Structure 1
Amino acid sequence: MSLAKFSVTKRVTISMLVLIIILFGFISFQKLGLDLMPDLEFPVLTISTTYEGAAAEDVEQLVTRPIEQAVSTIKGIDKITSTSSEGLSVVTVTFEWGTNLDFAGQDIRENISRLRHFLPDEIEDPMVIKMDLSQMPILLFGVSGMQNTSELRNYLDQTVGPRIERLNGVASVIVAGGLEREINVYLNKTRMDQYRIGPDAVMASLAASNVNVSSGYVKANHQEYMVRTMGEFKDINTIANTVITSVGGTPIRINDVARVVDTFKENRSYMRINGRDGVVLFITKQSGANTLETVRSIKALLKELGPTLPKDLKFMTVLDQGDMVEKATGNAANSAIVGAVLAILILWLFLRNWRPTLVIALAIPISIITTFIGMHILGYTFNIITIGGFALAVGMLVDNAVVVIENIYRHLELGLHRNDASVKGSDEVGMAITASTLTTIAVFVPLALAGGYAGKIAQPLALTICAGLTASLFVAITIIPMLASVIFKKRTFKKGEESVEAHGGKLYHSFLKLYEGSLRWALNKWYLVSFVTIVLFFLSIFGLKVIGGEFMPEGDDGMGQIRLTLPVGTNIEE
């Protein structure tokens, strides 16, 4: 028994199947995330090392080059680039596509740990960072207000930040810029020489005193109590009274040889929001979280907190991925909807009958809903790439259905019962539309299997289209025959009409005459048509070179930047 005959004779079964597909399709739709771009993992690891106060040349010689040599022996590396600036070393390691970055990152950490004893003691431990688009900020606020940026930074860190981090989908909240508290110890060389104390002794005493130490436990009244020795500094007086050593039984404290000042870190950057000093709030989302929903929940929380925030505290949106996602995906979705509506209208103009048009109108959403299931299985999200695949595939989704419906209609006109016409019409073209669909899918398979960054971008587009085409084939050979056997009825024609072509009216006949005339002319002038075709082919190749190309089109995010390069050594206050 063919699929078409099964669908016609088992209408209840097929109807239940359609309901199940719709149910699972809606469940898959709700679980699909919404992002601007697909979740891509670039084969890039960055090693960032901070060396406070060191010149760029020292950073390069003492930190960057040893790290480059240490990681260069790891397998799968494509290239290594580095940047050395004042107080900072950044080594970027690019691996071949397909490299397991978790294993590669572990190898880098092991190599650096073996190198650590040869690096300056003053550097912070190198950080290995994976380049992940999903960890890019989804919201970036410029925040101003309060008396100074130190109070502003502390308020955001202690009050606003923790509330935002508790929201579903939020990974981290980072406050950048502003004044950071710093305790400076200014050594008095004369007094240190007097007591014969070096800077290393001062540093060692501070490091040894600024710790909390576990001291075991004590038993009392059949209970055990954990004991800890609290030594962490609470204020600058504790630091000033820290004992360095003793001379003749007299303790020498920090305040005997130095001056302790509670101040702020030296500013190496300034942030201003609408002319006022401020800080920047970076908010990132968890991997797999819905960007739009996460952004909306953050904005809703800030609106809720509004009455409790200081009156002069102002949030200015600098970057909003939620808005970008909504606009980009909305435009692509609208294009897909308009394409589907236009396809249905064009079919109605040619068929001039509401019954086959209704079947097509039902086939398109069923095919799209079925595609949602495939996207969920593949782990894709809604983004401009996958929705673009939908927009591109909408026209192709109706191709199979149109072929089957036209053949069913033809058999109805030949006098067959609608059940028989549905079965025979579908069976006759079943192999043809299957071969046609598989041929189209084969065109997109190379895109899905392509390597490199371009392949990773094109893969969701190609597989979304393939899933849509597979769904449309399934709908055409199972659901369309069932719908046709229920909705279609034998046509009756007026006198002089013998087929649906005759019912097409003046518009159809005018188009048919124009096509026949053009075809006859082309067949008679085949040499001229061949020559023009060859000329157009070579002109298109020349035009391709003239047009040029780029990897990704430039987008308009509504932001502008002004970069100024000042002479070397220019003071930051200037």
Structure 2
Amino acid sequence: MIERLIDFSIRNRALVILGVLLVGALGLRAAQELPMDAVPDVTNVQVQILTTAPALGPLEVEQFITFPVETVMSGLPHLEEVRSVSKFGLSSVTIVFEEGTDIYFARQLVAERLADARQAVPKGYGNPTMGPISTGLGEIYQFTVQGDPMCAAGEPDEEGCYTPMELRTVLDWYIAYQLRSVPGVVEVNTFGGELKTYEVQLDPARLTALDIPLGDVFEAIERNNASAGGAYIQQSGEQLLIRGEGLIGNLDDIRRIVVSNRHEGTPITINEVADVANAPMVRQGAATHQGRGETVIGIAMMLMGANAREVSRDVGTKLDEIRPTLPEGVTIEAFYDRTDLVDRTIRTVATNLIEGGVLVVVVLLLLLGNVRGGLLVASVIPLSMLGAFIAMRLAGLSGNLMSLGAIDFGLIVDGSVVIVENVVRVLSERRANGGMVRSAVREAAIEVGRPIAFAVAIIILVYVPVLSLRGVEGKMFQPMALTVVFALAASLVLALTWVPALCTFVFKDGVVEHETSLLRRIRAWYAPRLERSLARPKRTLALAVGLFALSIGVVPFLGAEFVPTLEEGAIAMHAIRLPSVSLEESVQATTRLERVLLERFPDEIEKIVSKTGRPEVATDPMGVELSDVIMMLRPASEWSAATTKEGLIEAIQRTLGDEVPGQRFSFSQPIEMRMNELISGVRSDVAVSIYGENLQALKQAGDDLVKILRGVPGAADVKAEQSAGLPVLRVQINRDAIARYGIDASDVLDAVATMGGRKVGEVFEGQRRFALQVRYREDARSTLEAIRQIPIGAPTGALIPLGQLADLSVEEGPAQISRDRIQRRLTVEANVRGRDLGSFVSEAQTGVQEANVLPASYFLEWGGQFKNLQEATERLIVAVPVA
């Protein structure tokens, strides 16, 4: 077959050359269409189910939402794992499917069960919905929306200044709507600012004085915010549609709603029992930047499988179109653009490939001693790459640092070098020219064709173990192996077709072989040593076996890492405070932290933006005690506080420990942190998950593990999941008391819900819609005594204080409840610095086993990056010897 292929290529040389050039043109097109990103997307196939329940604490969220949703989703086809987090006001259930499952098929399976999940959740406790179809690489573009910076310290009502609510409205209803039209953008998540509502702020004292129960307020607003259609009438041969419009259009419409006519027929309006204003929705997150306080952030999320470089560029272009149309004084400033990272990665890969290609060409010229032959062989490099691009495009692979950076040009030109060298030798020996060249080239190529094919096949076989990897490690390394295999296969085809065909043109006038001085020196050194080795085969073989045994013996002393870290040009710092901290205090603490970092590290940090808590689309379910601080770094050549990133992190830790006490910090990078969290539910290199039922026992075991891990050299950012410490005001209904007054428990619970704001409708402003909610005034819910005086309507018309119907007490409850495999879990996390991951975990596991910290029937599991390393090692142990 090889002989026939070479023979065909020489007899139809013009056709072969034209075909290769055509394939090269297709390769150029494939290279332009190839999705480009910084790293492979290793996110597993997963679907998130998010449920917001503003009135529920973690225990109630777990009981009424998380557990029913988990139960309904268990048993799905191709299901691999179900894990969840229950926090105040939020349930996040992550459903992980087996690798290879189509993401749209997975979402269809979840959607079919979602209706059952909604029925399993009690009415009024939340509406489970699927999260956006995105991945760990999905947050491709992030920007802030700001008003005039001079207004930050002034009054928002000053001319040209904008309140956080106004900025949030501009982002939600103007900027985000247009960005969602960009191809490849699946969601635009907003973070920070204040979500506008129309709020009826009830005064309990006025309700009591006018003898109006809470339920009357709800009913009055709902009855006065509707529209109706009356079909049509015919008049003078025309059809007139009938519309009845009773929707609320502004604050005054709400104020004029009649609540009651009890007092001698005099109507009592909302305005007499409440204040009406535009107020923010109760929020669980905020954003700050540059130490200047709160801002509003927009996050463009990319559709799974889209081209990150193109989508982020298109988002930036769209924002450039939007900027001139914004209200005067409103600006958009990008602080994270994936295009920068991708372009930097592509430049790195391109530089390495060009340098490698030039080096290969120089070596070829020095060794072959023939400029024409050297250039002919060098032409195989770009053509092989173009062929690999076509195969990558057909296989659905992306171009990134892992897939493109692994290509070895020395391997690619091996076959072509052998053929050209042999052709030059045969032509020189026969002094062939003219018509004799074709037959000589044919004979020379066929002579080495079969050995070349076997040699390339053996090299390809080396990558078979990598192709056997599955899961995260497979997604990380298989594209690299496939790209190299594609390039090698293309180079083999070119060596057997393109090179022989082109040789008949390049060497048509013959060629004289001469040995270069460099090759003579190499031959002079190598020949006698080869002869001595062949003369003593047993000693040579024994030496080879000894070296092999020595290399095997060194393996246990080598470090082990799952994957080298990509330099993203940014630091992602996770700040942790006490679970009892308020959002306002967290915002102030984060702002102070930003100022300290900008003052102490001006040469290192260019921009700093922080996200505290969670946004409305809570794909990252953080509590208000947690902040993600993103530091965009200047070029390392400008740094003065440190010379390496590790040194800079250590300097930041020391500074924050001295100047911002009372907080704990862990460090990573934006993509790395998000990847870790989506893959395993944690943000760190090593995660130890403890499984059991009792929350207090889990907390104690977690605290013991933290002490053990902190004693292991190389441990950094060791922390246990904050599962306790959230203060809760418990309103326990007194059944005897409500029975005595004939009051239903639901009436008491309605009053409790109204403290946080109960939605009773919507108000439309053109295309925009805002929630209409009823809430007690702040002074009526700011203290325990004020809450006890909230009136509850009885069937007799009397209003009974809440304090007479329920017992109020402040207790400490769980801050969050994590679950995995339908059981509770607490996770201890750690990063590793200054040593390899494998040896660190080995030492840590020994320490944990010796301490024996787990109660009976409890067990633990090691995860994070270590789990990926372990699974990859187990597969390679089998695959490498087989290969």
Return the TM-score normalized by structure 2: 0.58
1:405 CA drift (Å): 1.3
User: In the alignment, residue 512 of structure 1 is paired with which amino acid?
Assistant: R
Per mean C-alpha deviation after superposition, the further-off stretch among 277-286 and 243-252 is: 243-252
| Partner Cα separation in structure 1 for residue 502 and residue 46 of structure 2 | 52
| Partner Cα separation in structure 1 for residue 12 and residue 490 of structure 2 | 20
Please name the residue that 2:556 is paired with. Answer: 545
Give the one of 425, 431, 453 matched to 2:444.
Answer: 425
Give the one of 459, 471, 476 matched to 2:495.
Answer: 476
CA RMSD of aligned residues (A): 3.2
Residues 390-469 of structure 1: pairs in structure 2 closer than 5 A: 391-392=407-408, 394-415=409-430, 416=432, 417-469=436-488
Please name the residue that 2:290 is paired with. Answer: 274
Query: Cα–Cα, structure 1 residues 241 and 557, in superposed 2: closer, same or farther, change >3 Å?
Result: same
Give the one of 151, 156, 160 matched to 2:171.
Answer: 156
The SS at the match of 1:560 is strand
1:205 CA drift (Å): 4.5
Aligned length in residues: 564
Matched, 1:348 2:365: yes
The SS at the match of 2:91 is strand
| Partner Cα separation in structure 2 for residue 42 and residue 211 of structure 1 | 46
Matched, 1:90 2:92: yes
Please name the residue that 1:264 is paired with. Answer: 280
The SS at the match of 2:279 is strand
| Partner Cα separation in structure 2 for residue 347 and residue 303 of structure 1 | 49
Give the one of 378, 388, 396 matched to 1:371.
Answer: 388
Contact 2:118–2:128 under 8 Å retained in 1: no
Query: Cα–Cα, structure 1 residues 232 and 144, in superposed 2: closer, same or farther, change >3 Å?
Result: same
Please name the residue that 1:119 is paired with. Answer: 121
1:250 CA drift (Å): 6.6
For residues 275-302 of structure 1, the C-alpha deviation after alignment (integer angstroms, 9 at most, x for no partner) is: 2221112123445544334433444454
Unpaired stretches in structure 1, ≥5 consecutive residues: 494-499
| Partner Cα separation in structure 1 for residue 457 and residue 524 of structure 2 | 34
Matched, 1:68 2:61: no
| Partner Cα separation in structure 2 for residue 114 and residue 297 of structure 1 | 39
| Partner Cα separation in structure 2 for residue 528 and residue 178 of structure 1 | 77
Contact 1:48–1:127 under 8 Å retained in 2: yes
For residues 78-105 of structure 1, the C-alpha deviation after alignment (integer angstroms, 9 at most, x for no partner) is: 2222211111111222222233444443
| Partner Cα separation in structure 2 for residue 396 and residue 145 of structure 1 | 57
Query: Cα–Cα, structure 1 residues 377 and 249, in superposed 2: closer, same or farther, change >3 Å?
Result: same
Per mean C-alpha deviation after superposition, the further-off stretch among 117-126 and 16-25 is: 117-126
User: In the alignment, residue 411 of structure 1 is paired with which amino acid?
Assistant: V
1:553 CA drift (Å): 1.9
Query: Cα–Cα, structure 1 residues 348 and 203, in superposed 2: closer, same or farther, change >3 Å?
Result: same
Residues 103-502 of structure 1: pairs in structure 2 closer than 5 A: 103-129=105-131, 132-133=134-135, 136-146=138-148, 147=161, 148-189=163-204, 198-207=213-222, 209-220=224-235, 222-224=237-239, 226-243=241-258, 247=262, 253-255=269-271, 257-276=273-292, 277-287=294-304, 289-303=306-320, 313=330, 315-389=332-406, 391-392=407-408, 394-415=409-430, 416=432, 417-489=436-508, 500=513
Query: Cα–Cα, structure 1 residues 244 and 313, in superposed 2: closer, same or farther, change >3 Å?
Result: closer
Contact 1:7–1:479 under 8 Å retained in 2: yes
1:322 CA drift (Å): 0.6
Contact 1:144–1:313 under 8 Å retained in 2: yes
The SS at the match of 1:125 is coil
Contact 2:193–2:286 under 8 Å retained in 1: yes
| Partner Cα separation in structure 2 for residue 535 and residue 542 of structure 1 | 11
1:562 CA drift (Å): 4.0
| Partner Cα separation in structure 2 for residue 108 and residue 296 of structure 1 | 32
The SS at the match of 1:441 is helix
Contact 1:41–1:132 under 8 Å retained in 2: no
| Partner Cα separation in structure 2 for residue 460 and residue 161 of structure 1 | 34
User: In the alignment, residue 516 of structure 1 is paired with which amino acid?
Assistant: A
Please name the residue that 1:554 is paired with. Answer: 565
Give the one of 67, 77, 80 matched to 1:78.
Answer: 80
1:522 CA drift (Å): 3.7
The SS at the match of 2:69 is helix
1:255 CA drift (Å): 3.9
User: In the alignment, residue 165 of structure 2 is paired with which amino acid?
Assistant: S
Per mean C-alpha deviation after superposition, the further-off stretch among 481-490 and 545-554 is: 545-554
Identity %: 29
User: In the alignment, residue 420 of structure 1 is paired with which amino acid?
Assistant: S
| Partner Cα separation in structure 1 for residue 183 and residue 118 of structure 2 | 38
User: In the alignment, residue 355 of structure 2 is paired with which amino acid?
Assistant: V
Per mean C-alpha deviation after superposition, the further-off stretch among 327-336 and 102-111 is: 102-111
1:68 CA drift (Å): 1.9
| Partner Cα separation in structure 2 for residue 118 and residue 171 of structure 1 | 29
Contact 2:47–2:94 under 8 Å retained in 1: yes
| Partner Cα separation in structure 2 for residue 537 and residue 225 of structure 1 | 94
| Partner Cα separation in structure 2 for residue 272 and residue 362 of structure 1 | 53
| Partner Cα separation in structure 2 for residue 244 and residue 547 of structure 1 | 77
1:337 CA drift (Å): 1.9
| Partner Cα separation in structure 2 for residue 536 and residue 214 of structure 1 | 90
Per mean C-alpha deviation after superposition, the further-off stretch among 76-85 and 352-361 is: 76-85
